[in-house]
Each structure stands twice: as C-alpha cells, then as structure tokens.
Amino acid sequence: MSRGNSKEGAETGVSIVAATRDALTKADLPDPMRLLVAFSGGADSTALLLAIHEIALAEPDHVQLEIAHFNHQLRAERSNSDELSCRELCEDLGITLHTGSGYVAGFAEKHGESVEAAARHLRYRFLAEIASERKMDAVVTGHTLDDQAETVILAMTRGAGLSGISGMALVTQRHDLGAGSDPLIIVRPMLGLRRADTVTFCESRGVQPLEDESNRDTRYARNRVRLNVIPELEKVNPSVVEAIGRLADIARADHDFILEAVRKTLQDIAVDETGGISRTRFSETAPTLQPHVLAYAYTLAAGSSRDLDMQAINSCLDAIRDTGTGSLDLANGVTFVLEHDVIRFLPPGADPACPYPAEVGEHILEVPGNVSFSDGSNLSARIVSPVPDLAQIGKWQALIARDEAVLSLTVRARRDGDRVQPLGMAEQVKLQDFLVNQHVPARWRDRVPLVLANDQICWVAGERIADWAKVSSGASEAVLLEYTPADDSSGGNRAG
C-alpha cells in the first residue's frame, strides 16, 4: 500500500473529513472518544482511516484511535500480503494496529453458513474482543451509501420488514458477540458518502488502496447486487443509490416511531422479568403491531435482529393463534417457546425463566441438612416446632410429617415410571401427567427436584406434597422443606 503527496481531490478530501467529523459528533460518544477503526485496506476503510487520522492530529485531546485488521484466510498468500500492507501503512502513520485471523471457509462449512455470513461473524467477534480489551468506545467502519443501497436491496429480496429496509444506522449496538459485559458500539460515519468519493480521497492523499478481487466474484449475493442489479437500476434512475438511501432513512424514522410503541406494549403485556409475554394480552394487541413486538422480543434474546425474517415471525404468529404449546427453533440459536399463556424467546443455550437446577443428580438429604446444586440453587430440610400456619408457606416450601421415614430423604430428578399421590388425591397418578396438569413446561420437567422418602415421592419441588406425607392435625413438629433457586428470585413467604 503506497503513499505519496498528490494534491488531487483536495476538495473531496475536505468534504470527507468534515462529513466524518460531523458524523462522529452526532454519534454522541464520550470525550475524548477512543475509536477502533476496522481496516481491511480497501478504499472505503482506507479513506475512513485517513480521515479519522487527520481529525485525531487536529484534535488530539478529543480523538484517540487504534486500528484492527482481520485476515479472513480466503485468498491464500494474498490475504497475508494484504495484512502486511495494512501494517506498513499503520506504521507509517504511527497508529497501533491489532491483527487477527480466522479460517472463514472452515467455519462456514462447520456451521452451515455462507462464506459472507461466516466472515462477518468472525470479523465482528474479533473486533468486539479488541474493543473490550482496549476499552475502546466504539468500532468505526467504512460503510458508504453504496453499501447502504446494497444492504436495503438484499433485505428486500428476503422479504424483510421496516427494520430490514432501514438498512444500517449511524450508530448500532451488538449484544450478541460475547466480549465483555457491555455491548459493542458500531459507528458508520461515511454512510452519506459514495464509494467513488473514498477512492478519490485516497488518491488525494497519495495512498493506493488494496483491491480485493473477490469483490468481483458474482458467486456472492452482495457482489451480484453491486455489479449487476444497481447498474440496471441506474438506467431507470441515475441517482438510484441516493434514492434508496432516502428510503432507508424514511423507513428508519418510521421504525423508530413504531419501536417506541413496541417497547411500551411489551412492558404492558410482560408477565415476569425474564422475558415472558402474556399470550392472552398479546392476542389483544393490534394485529399490525404484533409482528414488531415479536421481532423486538427476539432481538432482546438474540442480541441483534440479524438473520430474522418475516417467514420466521409469521411462523411464530401462526403458533400463537393455535391453542397448543410447543417450540420453534429460530436463527442464531434462539428458541421460541409457547407455554399455556406465556410466550418466550429463549437465548441460545439458556432458559432464564427456569427456576430449577441446571442438573439435579441424586443426593441424600439428611434432616436437618441441605443439598447444594452445581448452579448455586439449594434444597434444605429442617425440623420446625411449633408447626407454622400453612398460610405462611410459600411456593418453594413444603411441610411434611415428621417420622422415622423422613429423617433421611433422597433428592433426584424424575425417572420413567415415576408415580406420585398428590395432596388431596386418594390414588397415585403418573408423575408425567401431574407435571402436565400443573403446567410445568416440558423443557423444565427433567430439572424439577423430587424429594423421596422410602422410595416414594413426598414433594415435587414448587408443586404439591404427597397426600400420605401431610402433617396430621395437632402435630407439634414437622419437617420444613425449602428450595431456593440460584438467583433467589422465588420470593414468597418464609416460615420462621
């Protein structure tokens, strides 16, 4: 990557620097702002780097920058050569460069993703890691108005809604990258500029950007849009890229307005603090708002709306209109779950609403004594005298009769063939049927701790004791069983 002293394109250079400075100001970042520039070596990211470098030189107390380059290992030695060229320019400018690499093709094959999606995933994960380690305020990318038009067209081909055709915003947050506790802030200060402007700006600064020959490979959907679709649209309207940019702005303004209504609706129909939505109250929501509510709930679970399409939302809506329960697997590892009157979007590998241990195992519970589960939840037993009033007993507590049979208890998960005699019933029933009747979600049933005495279930934690284990009238002592979830969110009364 060469550098010279060409004076051509000075006017374009001034406008790009000014536009970049204005956009960074609108991004409302801390002062001084610590920026990590995503640098591929192409014209767009090179222009971004040069513009922010000039701003940092002029305003060193307000702007601090470092650079990150990710080697996708897609073009053999050419990828390594590009990395070396990026390093040389950063050394010439005196800017700290962070490099990373990933075998994108292998990742794409392993996870069943397109090469484009895999490259984006690995690149942003790397950027998030560096931003977290270096305590940067934001990652800055060189997306231009041309990128915006391509993004909108691709969203339209997927049948995306307002969120999709809103394209890219100046500032977005990614919560799904798993680097630190804070979201990754992404700023795109050149969204109002054309790609041709970045080429001219690089020339005016005497820098020859790298050219990635894969940008001409029409096996990639974005390249087909760039090389084939947009030129045809420009025959209809020479300013089609600017027109699509205005469409994205209008859609984003409308989407932001709707989003405020969605947030308010979601607050009104929530049933708990772990993302549960009342199915009944959701069904009473205006039909035009329902898809937006589901999309927003999905975004909260996934960390972003990436890869969510209207087909998935419509599948969720169809399931809600049915009377049954069940689940759907959605993009990015999110699971849509329908309980009897609760709708949930579960994050990948998590079920924040589940109060039960991640794994029950099998334990001996002495009386008095306690069992601690691996996730921090706990089940205890103690003798209480006098016997507390049942009105003081909460959901996660149970009183059972004190006799020799219950001085040493067993705690375990359910097994095939388990039966229980729930309080108030004369006969035993299948534990599976009891859990179904109690509306315990299917995905929780293997996590429910069972307390047994003499191989008989005396308490299904959080539900009922066995009829045979009830405390007789006039008893002076009883055994108090108490389960405490890991987050201690059970609330309720505690017996003294």
For residue 485, the model assigns a pLDDT of 92
Rounded Cα–Cα distance for residues 251 and 257 (Å): 10
Q: Residue 210 in 3-state DSSP?
A: coil
For residue 486, the model assigns a pLDDT of 86
Mean pLDDT, the chain, rounded, equals: 90
Of 174, 209, 169, which Cα lies nearest the Cα of 188?
A: 169
For residue 12, the model assigns a pLDDT of 62
Residue 493 has pLDDT above 80, yes or no: no
Looking at residues 117-138, what average pLDDT do you find?
Answer: 93
Looking at residues 302-307, what average pLDDT do you find?
Answer: 81
For residue 442, the model assigns a pLDDT of 87
- Residue, of 79 and 282, whose pLDDT is higher: 282
Lowest mean pLDDT across 55-69, 157-171, 432-446 = 157-171
Q: What contacts 116, CB < 8 A, 6 or more positions away? A: 220, 221, 222
Q: What is the DSSP string of 431-484?
A: HHHHHHHTT--GGGGGG--EEEETTEEEEETTS-BBGGGPPPTT-S-EEEEEEE
Residue 8 has pLDDT above 50, yes or no: no
Q: What contacts 313, CB < 8 A, 6 or more positions away? A: 161, 291, 294, 295, 298
Lowest mean pLDDT across 17-21, 144-148, 349-353, 450-454 = 349-353
Lowest mean pLDDT across 198-202, 218-222, 422-426 = 218-222
Angle, helix 10-26 to helix 195-204, in steps of 10 degrees:
120
Pick the CATH number of 10-243 from 3.40.1380.10, 3.40.1350.10, 2.60.120.10, 3.40.50.620: 3.40.50.620
For the chain, give the percent of residues with pLDDT over 90. 70
Q: Are 187 and 136 in contact (CB under 8 A)?
A: no
Residue 153 has pLDDT above 90, yes or no: yes
Residue 490's pLDDT band, with cuts at 50, 70 and 90, is: very low
For residue 495, the model assigns a pLDDT of 41
For residue 496, the model assigns a pLDDT of 35
For the chain, give the percent of residues with pLDDT over 70. 94
Q: What contacts 414, CB < 8 A, 6 or more positions away? A: 431, 432, 435, 445, 446, 448, 450
Angle, helix 290-302 to helix 240-269, in steps of 10 degrees:
90
Residue 458 has pLDDT above 80, yes or no: yes
Residue 494 has pLDDT above 50, yes or no: no
Residue 175 has pLDDT above 70, yes or no: yes
Residue 258 has pLDDT above 80, yes or no: yes
Phi/psi zone of residue 215: left (φ > 0), alpha (ψ -120 to 50 degrees), beta? alpha
- Boundaries of every domain in the chain: 10-243, 270-346, 362-484
Q: What is the DSSP string of 86-109?
A: HHHHHHHHT--EEEEE--HHHHHH
Q: Residue 397 in 3-state DSSP?
A: strand
For residue 355, the model assigns a pLDDT of 92
Residue 226 has pLDDT above 60, yes or no: yes
For residue 247, the model assigns a pLDDT of 97
Looking at residues 126-143, what average pLDDT do you find?
Answer: 96
Residue 297's pLDDT band, with cuts at 50, 70 and 90, is: very high
Q: What contacts 101, CB < 8 A, 6 or more positions away? A: 70, 71, 72, 73, 83
For residue 196, the model assigns a pLDDT of 94
The answer to whether domain 10-243 and domain 270-346 are alike in fold is no
CATH code assigned to 270-346: 3.30.465.60
* Bridge partners for 459 per DSSP: 451, 465
Residue 454 exposed, middle or buried by CB count within 10 Å (0-12, 13-18, 19+): exposed
